[in-house]
Amino acid sequence: MLYDKNPPYPHYDHLPYAKEPWKSLYVLQRLVTTLAMVPWWVSYYTVMPRSVRPRSSWNILQCIYVNFIRRIFKVTEVAGVTWGTRDPTSEPSDTLLRETTFEWAEPLREDLRTGILKDGLAAPWTKVGTFVWPRKAKSILDSVRDTMHLHPAEPTSPNPPPDPNEAHMEEKAKVVCLFFHGGGYCHMSAHENSRTSRIPRGLIKRGICDEVYSVEYRLLQVAPFPAVVQDAAAVYVHVLDKYAKMGKSCKIVLCGDSSGGNLALSLARWLRDENKVPVPDGLILLSPSCDTSHDMPETLSSYIPRPNEHSDYLVDNPEPRALLQRTFLGIKGHSTAPRTEEEEKSLMRIVHSEYVSPCSPIVLERWGHEVIQDPQGQHRKTFWNYALPNLPNVMKLNRSPEGLNPMLRRNTTSSWEDSDNPYRKTCQFPALFASFPKTIVATGDGERLVREVRSLVAAMTKDGVDIAAHWAPDACHDPLMINETWWDKKVLDGIWEDIKKWGDEAFRHPKASEETLV
């Protein structure tokens, strides 16, 4: 199947090819014409000098991959196609799983439903599925023994002599990872067959983590924000409770690629702010999306162009932005339907919050950080002086600097109160990323998110986070998701090697070295 066979979601209804049979015809046409472009790309990049390639270091397969994916993504905005999703309420057949075991996490306990999780548009609380790597095939008897902390050798030897090696291994806490897949909160899944599952597979294969819980969180078309954080928190508590019942200790690492990196940052912030359960021991952020406000039409960030248009497959088209905008609030219906003032206010509060867009210009300036996306402020001045005055009044009111950021007030009589920004009113921490766990960020230096990720690294460094950064040379967005057939294996291995080194120094041999990765 070329795409997910879901009925059109309500917010896709207005798209010209969102319904069958037009949807299938359009997707087929787009695929055939894109395939027809491949011989041309091969000929062109073979004959022309390397200087005309998106990156001179790229081979022909890399050029084809980026061009092909970027062109295929057009079907999302014309036909409302989603890729690689699954029903988060369904349990997969265990017989079809080869690398993972599926578990359900109970809905988050009521006493933990605080902060951003209970504000405004809180979605229904449901159980959350998770795929656990590596797969452990167990009989019913084995499961009972695990529950009772028994092992096959114990009945024959009630008091066996202690094994020094086993005792040493028991003292070492397992490194457990919660993985959040990417896909713009609209695509992909946590299933082992998903493209993004190359990442948890690599974490296990390379010995970076002992166990990985890949979270099947609800996508935006299923439930609006903050459902993704609710689901992530439910699995986090599930893992803590599971290890506590087994009487074992663990070190928890949050890992996410693209929008999954955004979710990892959001969950880490909620855990820090609410202080209800232990905070994670580390973060692995792979091409993290950290300025979601860029995807919203007529926001300040949307007027700041992203670099690397030709060396990345990500696109900056307006229609996907509009879809994301509506699904954030659970708004259904035609894209041109006007929103109420309350909806506009709610949307702007969400997308310019520290939980959703921690590296948007609004949030960075709110906390006194440099905006690397627009260091001279040129695009911000253009937006405030020329774009904002021409917006409809309902949009203008909730996008003004006075309404979004009190630090930007200039000779105005408009009022701003803490009640308009509950996070600033209640946050107990002096800095945006204060008390965040040790972190490694891996990003392609040829991708479109590179500037906002540099803002993230700079802000975390300034706020005292123990952070390492790996800039994959000439890599596009989310390179670890790409099959080695299509990308430079040396570049991919370089990313994995730095993550492995960081993990070993942080969790396996914490005193072995204090060297910082660059």
> pLDDT tens across 407-440, in order?
444 333 333 333 345 666 678 899 999 999 999 9
Least confident of 30-39, 158-167, 403-412, 432-441: 158-167
Residues for the chain: how many in total?
518
Strand partners, 282: 253, 438
Average pLDDT, the chain: 84
Average pLDDT over residues 217-238: 94
Say which range, 121-135, 207-221, 457-471, 489-503, has the weakest mean pLDDT: 121-135
Q: Which amino acid is at 154?
A: E
Which carries the bigger pLDDT value, residue 408 or residue 159? 408
Whether the per-residue pLDDT at 63 is higher than 60: the answer is yes
Per DSSP, the three-state class of 169 is helix
Residue 151 has pLDDT above 70, yes or no: no
Give the pLDDT mean for 2-25.
74
Q: What is residue 321's predicted lDDT score, i.e. its pLDDT?
A: 53
pLDDT given at position 160: 42
Buried-exposed string 403-419: b where 16+ CB fall within 10 A, e elsewhere: bbbeebeeeeeeeeeee
Asked if 256 and 263 touch (Cβ cutoff 8 Å), the reply is yes
Pick from 311-320, 334-343, 482-491: least confident? 334-343
Question: Of 196, 187, 224, 228, whose CA–CA distance to 131 is shortest?
Answer: 196
The one-letter code for the residue type at 11 is H
Q: In what order do the strands lie in the sheet with 282-286?
A: 101-105, 128-133, 211-216, 174-180, 250-257, 282-286, 438-444, 467-472
pLDDT given for residue 161 in this prediction:
46
Give residue 512's pLDDT: 45
Residue 286 sits at the vertex; the CA angle it makes with 207 and 120, to the nearest 5 degrees, is 120
Kind of pairing, strands 128-133 and 101-105? antiparallel
Question: Does 388 or 439 have the greater pLDDT score?
Answer: 439
Which of 42-46, 72-76, 123-127, 512-516 bottoms out in mean pLDDT, i.e. has the lowest? 512-516
Residue 325 has pLDDT above 70, yes or no: no
Buried b (16+ CB within 10 A) or exposed e, 56-81: eebeeebbbbbbbbbbbbbbbbbbbb
Binning pLDDT at 50, 70 and 90, where does residue 297 land?
confident
Instruction: Round to the nearest angstrom and report the end-to-end CA distance of the chain.
Output: 42
The confidence score (pLDDT) of residue 317 equals 66
The predicted model gives 221-233 an average pLDDT of: 92
Name the residue with tokens 């912030």. 269
Given this model, what pLDDT does residue 1 score? 52
Choice between 511 and 310, residue whose per-residue pLDDT is larger: 310
Q: Where are the domains of the chain?
A: 10-79, 287-518
Q: Is the pLDDT of residue 460 over 80?
A: yes
pLDDT at 500 over 90: yes
Q: Lowest-confidence range among 32-41, 80-89, 148-157, 270-279?
A: 148-157
Asked if 102 and 92 count as a contact pair (C-beta separation under 8 A), the reply is yes
pLDDT of residue 285: 99
| Whole-number pLDDT of residue 422 | 60
Res. 331 pLDDT band, cuts 50 70 90:
low
Burial code (b: 16+ CB inside 10 Å, e: under 16) for 463-472 equals bebebbbbbb
According to the model, what pLDDT value does residue 339 have? 65
| Percent of the chain scoring above 90 in pLDDT | 57
Tell me how far CA of residue 69 lies from CA of 37, 116, 162, in angstroms.
12, 35, 56
Q: Is the pLDDT of residue 219 over 50?
A: yes
Looking at residue 76, its pLDDT comes to 76
Least confident of 401-405, 410-414, 462-466, 471-475: 410-414
Q: Of 74-78, 316-320, 381-385, where does mean pLDDT reach its minimum?
A: 316-320
Q: Are 439 and 453 in contact (CB under 8 A)?
A: no
Question: For residues 365 and 135, what is the distance between their CA atoms, to the nearest angstrom?
Answer: 45
Mean pLDDT computed over 110-124: 83
How large is the average pLDDT for residues 16-44? Answer: 90
The answer to which of 270-284, 300-314, 386-400, 502-516 has the lowest mean pLDDT is 502-516
**Where does residue 183 fall: left (phi above 0), alpha (psi -120 to 50 degrees), or beta otherwise?**
left
Residue 57 neighbours by CB under 8 Å, 6+ apart: 473, 474, 488
The predicted model gives 453-461 an average pLDDT of 98
Q: Indicate the pTM of the whole model.
A: 0.88
Q: What is the mean pLDDT of residues 112-141?
A: 82
Neighbours of 167 (CB within 10 A): 9
Closest CA to 172 of 146, 206, 128, 207: 207
C-alpha to C-alpha distance for 518 and 510, rounded to whole angstroms = 18
With the CA atoms of 456, 457, 463 and 465 taken in that order, what torsion angle do they form, in degrees rounded to the nearest 10? 120
Alpha helices, H only, 111-197:
140-147, 164-171
Look at residue 306 and tell me whether its pLDDT is greater than 80: yes
Within 13 Å and on the Cβ side, how many CA atoms surround 332?
A: 7
Helix axes 318-329, 341-351, angle to 10 degrees: 100
Average pLDDT over residues 188-198: 96
pLDDT of residue 147: 46
Q: Is the pLDDT of residue 330 over 80?
A: no
Distance CA 233, CA 227 (A): 10
Average of per-residue pLDDT across 5-19: 71
> What's the CA gap between 303 and 381, in Å, rounded?
10
**Quick check: 87 and 215 in contact, CB under 8 A?**
no
Pair of tokens at residue 62: 């890399």
CA 467 – CA 463 distance, rounded (Å): 10
Token digits of residue 189: 């899944």
